[in-house]
Each structure stands twice: as C-alpha cells, then as structure tokens.
C-alpha cells in the first residue's frame, strides 16, 4: 500500500471560502472536492496496479495489492458518502432552526 491520502489534510490545505478566486465557494463544497480528489488518487493507484497485472505481472502479491486497494477505495467511498451526508443533514437541521 503506497501513499494514502488523508482526506482531511486536503480540506485543511484547501483555500478558505473568502480567499478563493470564485466567490461562490463554500467549505462544504471544498470538503466534497477534497473527498473527490482523494477518491481520484486512489482510483489512479488502482489503475496503475491493474495495468501491471494486465502487463503480465500476475503474481499473487500484485493481485493481493489490487484487492487491498479495492477495499480501501470502497472504504473511502463509503466514508465520503457518510461524511457528506452527515454534514448536509446537520446543515439542514441548522437551517430549519433559524
């Protein structure tokens, strides 16, 4: 398992809503964008491993690596969905109470 990306580090590194060049950016959108970048990075990693296997490197170690990356992708995808849904629900609740 190579370089895993912590999605929260992407959120922390993202520009603040006020400092963004597009004035419509919000932190919720930036969080979703960070999750998207994390998922893209994991997908790229999986594509590279799959290309190795397609190129003839069908050793059990390589196949196991692809399986592990696939499970990580599933975990990240589920975490992204849960995180975005939870925050969205919280924002909805806050909006109703105002």
pLDDT, average across residues 44-73: 96
pLDDT score of 8: 54
Element (H, E) at 80: helix 60-97
In the numeric block, the tokens 């050793």 are attached to 59
Task: Tell me if residue 20 falls in helix, strand or coil.
Answer: coil
- pLDDT tens digits, residue range 2-52? 556 655 555 444 455 444 445 445 888 999 999 999 999 999 999 999 999
Any idea where the domains of the chain sit in the sequence? Answer: 25-97
Of 51, 90, 45, which is closest to residue 70 (Cα–Cα)? Answer: 45
**pTM higher than 0.75, yes or no?**
no
Task: Tell me if residue 14 falls in helix, strand or coil.
Answer: coil
Evaluate whether 80 touches 7 at the Cβ level (below 8 Å).
Answer: yes
């Amino acid at each position: 398992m190579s370089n895993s990306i912590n999605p929260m580090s992407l959120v922390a590194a993202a520009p603040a809503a006020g400092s963004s060049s597009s004035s419509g950016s919000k932190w919720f959108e930036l969080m979703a964008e960070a999750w998207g970048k994390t998922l893209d990075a994991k997908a790229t990693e999986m594509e590279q491993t799959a290309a190795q296997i397609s190129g003839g490197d069908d050793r059990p170690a390589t196949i196991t690596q692809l399986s592990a990356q696939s499970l990580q992708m599933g975990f990240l995808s589920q975490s992204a969905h849960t995180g975005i849904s939870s925050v969205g629900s919280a924002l909805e609740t806050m909006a109703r109470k105002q």
